[in-house]
Amino acid sequence: MISISDIEKSYGNAGNKNQVLKRISLQITDGDFVVILGASGSGKSTFLNVISGLERPDSGSVIYGTTDITKLSDGALTQFRKDNIGFIFQQYYLLPNMTVEKNVRMGADLAGNREYREMITAVGLEDKTGKYPGELSGGEQQRVSVARALAKKPKTLFLDEPTGALDEQTGRQVLDYICRLHKEYGFTIVMVTHNQNIAEMANTIIKMNSGKIAAVYTNEKQKTAYEIGW
Amino acid sequence: MVVGIKDALKLIGISIIACCAVFVCTLFLDYNIDIAAMKNEITTAGGITMYNAIVSTGKVVAAVSGGCLAITSVIMLLFYVKNYIDTHGRELGILKALGYSNFKIAKHFWVFGSSVFVGCALGYGLAFLYLPSFYELQNAEHLFPEIKVQFHLSVAFLLVGVPAISFAALAVIYACFRLKTPVLDLLKEKCAYKAAVSEKETKDMPFLKELTRSTVRSRKSFVFFIAFSAFCFSAMVQMSMSMTDLSSKEMAVMILTIGLILAFMTLFLSLSSVVKGNTKTIAMMRVFGYKHSDCSKAVLGGYRPFSYIGFAIGTIYQYALLKIMVTIVFADVGNVPEYSFDFTACAITLGLFIPTYEIAMYGYSRRIKKLPLKSVMLE
Ligand SMILES: Nc1ncnc2c1ncn2[C@@H]1O[C@H](COP(=O)(O)OP(=O)(O)OP(=O)(O)O)[C@@H](O)[C@H]1O
Ligand SMILES: [Mg+2]
């Protein structure tokens, strides 16, 4: 369970302050599939970064089980991310001078996971292990980053617009891999997206509007990546 | 403008090296020319042997320091041009895609040559200011008539004009050559992944080890610069210690200063470039939860062996150089002390080198710790 309470975050200095998150509170149950929707600039990425421990809020708490990560030191926070969190970003951020295999090992070694090749197979890249990111298509690169994030066996996976740079077909494919792995391993998913349709795959849908949560819906019947519109 | 003065500013390393080289060469060349003019006035036997010794020393010092530093600046310049093209692949690729010819883009790289001009002009100016004291020093025993400092246009042209023009030309030609890469590879900044390491060798290597390896391998020029920095430190510090016996204190101080400037500057420039070139990797590792000490070790640690190799080569180099100078140049001048390998100097230098190097590494690992995650992600 992730309990988020009264998160505030501003950028800029006193004279020119831009409050991006305005006292947000939220509960995320373990194993849930949460999608955060909202207009550009509404603070989705900032919210994701705060609850995943990449950024510190100005006030408020983010409690995983019994650990309040906003109270952790930098070192302890790094250790926390290592043990609990996986990330997938719109821009993939693969290491350019490492092969697919080594990129996945970057995640796997952290968890002492020696079966990382299974993860490469799970995203259908077993014949590309020796390739470099520059030699792959966008969709393939994003699948590498999915394998990299999941090879470290995270308890919670954070995704910021994972399909933002992909076309419909590749987007669906990547989402399908993520969904299937979610069913298999049961980690929690928190995904930020622009695309309303993708929300139909989720369990819980959160709408953000200028730094606040405008609405929370629960989805009774989750659709698959191939059933949603685009 | 493709390449601006701002980019050329980053070549301050080359300027400093050029400055040192021109400084040393100006001193000895000017002196040799001025002293040659009054060769006929030197009559005493002692004066003539001293004259011969000074002329050969001048030639050796100018050739060795000038040559070494020139080669270093050439390598540095090529490295900067390559690095610039690798890291600005997108901008340059778009220009090429729009139809600019390679030469049209490359010709802007002449700006990089200006760093050499600045360094050379500065070195020449400093040397000219120092010449009067230098002449007095060389003639401390008053074996020659008083020599006046004169301005030699030929020396100025050779040491400032020629390097500036040839380095500008070199930058343009090399840029032209590097820009032959196909447009798409430039746009994808594809050069970055060319560090291909044979697959079999690294099949089961853990990620951190592999990262150390690939960091070192993907930018071989840094290996050279970091080794060169240790080389300068080792060679120049040891040489300056022996110099006090073999020559004058002033010579020793001059060599020590030049050595330390070169050593620190190359070390700092290359370590900052290493850190800068790996910011994205480091940020991503931190996001995943790698400890900051693991990141620094993986990114910086690979260079340590090379710096010790550089130190060893520097030791051998200074020994060989001094041995040659003593046996050949001073062969027919009396009362030059016997030169043999100075173990104390070597031990002291190593004793200074290890903490200096480790402190520098520590400083850069602090810098890695302070890298802001978010700014990298937002890029
Ligand atoms: N580091 C920063 N410094 C200053 N302002 C920032 C910073 N990061 C974000 N902001 C501001 O915070 C607001 C919310 O940004 P955020 O990235 O969270 O939006 P978003 O909902 O993810 O938008 P998008 O859908 O376009 O990604 C924006 O107005 C942005 O300008
Ligand atoms: Mg965003």
Residues of A in contact with B281 (CB under 8 A): 95
User: Identity (one letter) of the amino acid at A73?
Assistant: S
Query: Are A54 and B280 within 8 A, CB to CB?
Result: no
d(CA A164, CA A161): 5
Indicate the residue type of A88.
I
Question: Taking a C-beta distance cutoff of 8 angstroms, is the pair B3, B108 a contact?
Answer: yes
Q: Which residues of B touch A85 (CB under 8 A)?
A: 289
A99 — contact with chain B (CB < 8 Å)? Answer: yes
The per-residue DSSP string of B309-327 comes to HHHHHHHHHHHHHHHHIII
Q: Whose CA is nearest to atom 8 of ligand 1?
A: A46
- Would you call A109 and B208 a contact, using CB atoms and an 8 Å cutoff? yes
Contacts of B218 in chain A (CB under 8 A): 97
The residue count for chain A: 230
The answer on pLDDT for B110 being more than 60 is yes
- How many other CB atoms are there within 10 angstroms of residue A202's CB atom? 24
Q: A207 CA distance to ligand 2 centroid (A)?
A: 14
Percent of residues in chain A assigned helix, strand, coil, to nearest 5:
40, 25, 35
Nearest CA to ligand 1 atom 30: A41
What is the average pLDDT across B247-255?
Answer: 76
In chain B, % helix, strand, coil (3-state, to 5) comes to: 85, 0, 15
Q: Which residues, listed in sequence order, are joined to residue A85 by a DSSP beta bridge?
A: A156
DSSP string, B135-195: HHHHTTT--S--------HHHHIIIIIHHHHHHHHHHHHHHHHHTTS-HHHHHTTGGGGG-
Q: Is B287 close to A81, i.e. CB distance below 8 A?
A: yes
pLDDT tens, N- to C-terminus, chain A (230 residues):
999 999 999 998 888 889 999 999 999 999 999 999 999 999 999 999 999 998 899 999 999 999 999 999 988 998 999 999 999 998 888 988 889 999 999 999 999 999 899 899 989 899 999 998 988 998 999 999 999 999 999 999 999 999 988 888 888 988 998 999 999 999 999 999 988 899 999 999 999 999 999 999 998 888 888 888 88
Q: ∠A32-A188-A104 over CA atoms, to 5°?
A: 150
Nearest by CB: B284 against A75, A95, A132: A95
Strand (E) positions, chain B? Answer: none
Q: How far apart, in Å, do the first and last CA atoms of chain A sit? A: 31
What digits encode the pLDDT tens for the residues B137-174? Answer: 777 777 777 777 888 888 899 899 999 999 999 999 99
B218 to chain A, any CB pair closer than 8 A? The answer is yes
Q: Which of B84, B17, B36, B77 is nearest to B276 (CA)?
A: B84
Q: Do B199 and A80 touch (CB under 8 A)?
A: no
pTM of the predicted model as reported, rounded to 2 decimal places = 0.78
Which helix (H) or strand (E) is B32 found in, with range? Answer: helix B12-37
Angstrom distances, CA of residue B333 to CA of B49, B56, B168, B248, B251: 6, 12, 43, 16, 19
pLDDT of B366 over the 80 cut: yes
Contact pairs from chain A to chain B, CB under 8 Å: 81
Q: Do B190 and A134 touch (CB under 8 A)?
A: yes
Residues A201 and A224 sit within 8 Å (Cβ to Cβ)? yes
Share of chain B above pLDDT 70, in %: 90
d(CA A92, CA A101): 15
- CA B42, distance to chain mean position in Å, is 39
d(CA A126, CA A115): 13
Calpha distance B251→B17 (Å, rounded): 18
Contact: A96, B192; criterion CB under 8 Å = yes
Q: Is B288 in Cβ contact with A81 (below 8 Å)?
A: yes
A161: alpha, beta or left? (left if phi > 0; alpha if psi -120 to 50): left
What is the reported pLDDT for A166?
86
A54 touches chain B (CB under 8 A): yes
What number is the average pLDDT over the span B226-239? Answer: 92
B289 vs A80: CB contact, 8 Å cut-off?
A: yes
Q: How far is the CA of A40 from the centre of ligand 1 (A)?
A: 8
Cα distance between residue B4 and residue A23, in whole Å:
46
Backbone angles phi, psi at A216, to 5 degrees: -130, 125
DSSP string, B225-242: HHHHHHHHHHHHHHHHHH
Q: Which among B255, B108, B227 has a CA at the least distance from the CA of B171?
A: B108
Alpha carbon of A23 to ligand 2 centroid (Å): 19
Closest in B188, B202, B288 to A106, CB measured: B288
Mean pLDDT, to the nearest integer, of B271-286? 87
Name which of A80, A84, A83, A89 is nearest A166 in CA terms: A89
Q: Which two tokens stand for residue B179?
A: 């820009």
Q: Who wins on pLDDT, A17 or B52?
A: A17
- Answer whether residue B332 shows pLDDT above 70: no
Q: Which residues pair with A73 in a beta bridge?
A: none
To the nearest whole angstrom, how far is the Cα of B108 from the nearest Cα of chain A? 28
Q: Which atom of ligand 1 is nearest to the CA of A44?
A: 21
ipTM of the complex model = 0.83
Q: Which residues contact A158 (CB under 8 A, 6 or more apart)?
A: A48, A51, A52, A85, A86, A87, A88, A190, A191
Phi/psi at A162 (5° precision): -65, -25
Token pair, residue B233, equals: 């430190």
Return mean pLDDT, chain B.
83
| CB A230 less than 6 A from any atom of ligand 1 | no
pLDDT, residue B152, reads 87
Whether residue B257 has pLDDT greater than 70: yes
Q: Is the CB of A43 under 6 A from ligand 1?
A: yes
Mean pLDDT value of segment B348-353: 95
| pLDDT higher than 60, residue B71 | yes
User: Is A89 in contact with B377 (Cβ distance < 8 A)?
Assistant: yes
pLDDT in the model for residue B169:
94
Kindly report the three-state secondary structure assignment for every residue of A30-79.
CCCEEEEEECCCCCHHHHHHHHCCCCCCCEEEEEECCEEHHHCCHHHHHH
What residues of B are in contact with residue A99 (Cβ under 8 Å)?
199
| Burial class (CB within 10 angstroms; exposed 0-12, middle 13-18, buried 19+) of B100 | middle
Q: What is the predicted pLDDT for the residue at B2?
A: 67
Among A167, A180, A191, A168, smallest CA distance to A123 is for: A180
The answer, for B278 touching chain A at a CB cutoff of 8 Å, is no
Kindly give the distance from the C-alpha atom of residue B78 to the centroid of ligand 1, in angstroms, as a whole number: 40
Q: Which DSSP letter does residue A193 get?
A: -
Determine whether the shortest distance from the Cβ of A40 to ligand 1 is under 6 A: yes
Q: What is the mean pLDDT of residues B273-293?
A: 88
Pairing mode, strands A188-192 and A156-160: parallel
> Which ligand 1 atom sits closest to the C-alpha of A211?
14
Query: Which residue in A has a C-alpha nearest to residue B279's C-alpha?
Result: A95
* Mutation for A interface: B199, B202, B211, B284, most A CBs within 10 A: B284
Q: Give contacts of B211 with chain A, Cβ < 8 Å.
A: 95, 98, 102
Element (H, E) at B31: helix B12-37
Q: Is the pLDDT of residue B361 over 80?
A: yes
